[in-house]
Amino acid sequence: MTFTVQTADGRTISYKDGKRYFWFFSFLLALVAPATIGLYLWSGSAFAVFVPLAYLYVFIPLFDLIAGEDTHNPPEEVVEAMAADPYYRILLHAAVPVFWASFFAAAWFVGTQDLPWWALFVFAWGAGSVHGDVLTIGHELGHKTNATDRLGAKLINAIIGYGHFCIEHNRGHHVAVSTPEDPASSRMGESIYQFARRELPGTFLRGWEHERLRLSKKGKSVWSVENDILQGYAITLVVAVALVAMFGWHMVPFLIVHHLTGWYGLTQANYVEHYGLLRQKLPNGRYEAVQPRHSWNTNHIVSNLLLFHLQRHSDHHANALRPYQALRDFPDLPRLPSGYPGCYTLAAIPPLWFAVMDPKVMAWAGGDITKVNVAPWRKKALYRRYGTQEAIAT
């Protein structure tokens, strides 16, 4: 489709979105679990259950390496027309039943096949990891202001039981991003495992508090049926009870592992998106406004198509309502060495992550360690390594 607009000065600008039909690649992650099931039924080998993990942490990074990056931006003049095109929004809503079908297929597989315990664990881990992508769709829909999109976000987030995501993300993370006060912004010198112990409970508590405040302003109790978080959890609970009733109690460990690894998928994204980046405080005590430079960016084409442009995170945080199809790249952004899945693999080995990313953080900060969001317990060591004598003295 070609978007054509007339500018105020009489120019005609036409733009054809070359990615328009490639956004269907975003459905591939939903097909990984059914494909794994098909491979197992065809081969009879329990080792087929490793496919989701291999796909996410090995094959996608390789595809990103081979396909490279896409730095193309749509002309600013056509962004409004692209945002108004319902096609892009329909794709997001279509993903909701597709991912629910993928989840139910995974549950049916565990409930009907005689898997060894290790295969059940690996499959739950892998399926949960790829289903963690539901938060990408929930993220995009949750930033919209209409009830239909927000309902879609609630429904898809419920697949992994992360009902507090949209409230916490919109009212918490986007406000405090790239500051020490944000549990969803990782700090230089903090491993992903240390970050997870801080981020998972921190974001839940912050989301719950924001919902409590919203309801209190309406004169409602936090335990009201209007609590959006409880509504999301209720969907997850009803589905879980139904699956246990259909297939038995061995569904419980599957659901626990599946949902927790889905949560960890968001943790991985949060970890790589803002690692070490810090907004500076102004003389009035407030933090500077969020700028594109306060988020790590990547233009790796394969993973960006799989994740609805989530990896153009710099523009997203600077312009939260800009739709995924129109997110822009800028030449002076801090850049990740790979797409998100490749960075997840790197982050899983903290010494490698630190070796690659800490110099990038310091380059972003112009060599000034005092302008970096540093883990407090690593401050002395990192200041000795990267700081000036004045910085070390502070």
- CB contact at 8 A, 353 and 192: yes
Domain span at residue 210?
Answer: 21-393
Considering only CA atoms, give the Rg of the chain: 22
User: Distance (Å, rounded) from C-alpha 145 to C-alpha 265?
Assistant: 25
Contacts of 125 (CB under 8 A, 6+ apart): 53, 257, 258, 261
Contact 78, 5 (CB under 8 A): yes
pLDDT of the residue at 390: 55
Q: How far is CA 209 from CA 85, 142, 199, 216, 229, in A?
A: 36, 18, 15, 10, 11
Query: What gap in Å lies between CA 29 and CA 168, rounded to an integer?
Result: 25
Domain assignment of residue 310, yes or no: yes
Give bridge partners of residue 90 from the DSSP assignment. Answer: none
Is 226 contained in some domain?
A: yes
Q: pLDDT digits over 148-204, tens only?
A: 999 999 999 999 999 999 999 999 999 999 999 999 999 999 999 999 999 999 999
Range scoring the smallest mean pLDDT among 75-84, 93-102, 131-140, 281-290: 75-84
In this structure, is residue 11 part of a structural domain?
no
Could you give the C-alpha distances from 341 to 41, 191, 294, in angstroms and in order?
28, 16, 20
Nearest to 193 by CA among 390, 349, 383, 84: 349
Between 37 and 390, whose confidence is greater?
37
- How high is the pLDDT of residue 2? 85
Residue 128 lies in a domain: yes
Does residue 187 lie in a domain region?
A: yes
Residue that has been written with the tokens 């459905």 in this structure: 27
Q: What is the pLDDT of residue 76?
A: 86
Task: For residue 161, tell me if it sits in a domain.
Answer: yes
pLDDT given at position 68: 94
Q: What is the mean pLDDT of residues 109-130?
A: 96
Mean pLDDT of 103-118: 96
Total tally of structural domains belonging to the chain: 1
Instruction: Specify the pLDDT at position 393.
Output: 56
Position 215 in a domain: yes
What integer pLDDT is reported at residue 172 of this predicted model? 93
- Helix pair angle (134-142, 251-273), 10° resolution: 60
What residues contact 90, with CB distance under 8 A and at least 6 apart?
none
Residues 6+ apart with CB under 8 A from 303: 60, 63, 64, 311, 339, 340, 341, 342
Report yes or no: 311 and 304 within 8 Å, Cβ to Cβ.
Answer: yes
CB 154, CB 211: distance < 8 Å: no
Amino acid letter, residue 200: L
Inform me whether the pLDDT recorded for 269 exceeds 60.
Answer: yes
Q: What is the pLDDT of residues 334-361, one digit of tens each?
A: 999 999 999 999 999 999 999 999 999 9
Q: Check if the beta carbon of residue 96 is closer than 8 Å to that of residue 75.
A: no
Amino acid at 334: P
> What's residue 190's pLDDT?
98
- Locate all alpha helices (DSSP H) within the chain, ordered by sequence: 28-43, 51-54, 60-67, 79-84, 86-112, 117-131, 134-142, 147-157, 165-168, 174-176, 192-217, 228-247, 251-273, 301-306, 313-318, 340-347, 350-364, 379-386, 389-393
Q: Residue 16 domain-assigned?
A: no
The pair of three-digit structure tokens given for residue 320, joined into one six-digit string = 């939260």
Question: What is the C-alpha to C-alpha distance for residues 347 and 339, in angstroms, rounded to an integer?
Answer: 12
Burial (CB count within 10 angstroms: exposed 0-12, middle 13-18, buried 19+), residue 12: exposed
Contacts for 68-73: CB closer than 8 Å, 24+ residues apart: 68/300, 68/301, 69/298, 69/299, 69/300, 69/301, 70/19, 70/299, 70/301, 70/304, 71/299, 71/329, 72/18, 72/329, 73/328, 73/329
What average pLDDT is seen over the chain?
Answer: 94
Longest dimension (CA), the chain: 69
Grade residue 1 by pLDDT with cuts at 50, 70 and 90. confident
Structural contact between residues 235 and 134, judged by C-beta atoms closer than 8 angstroms: no
In sequence order, what are the residues at sequence separation of 6 or more whose Cβ sits closer than 8 angstroms to the Cβ of residue 76? Answer: none
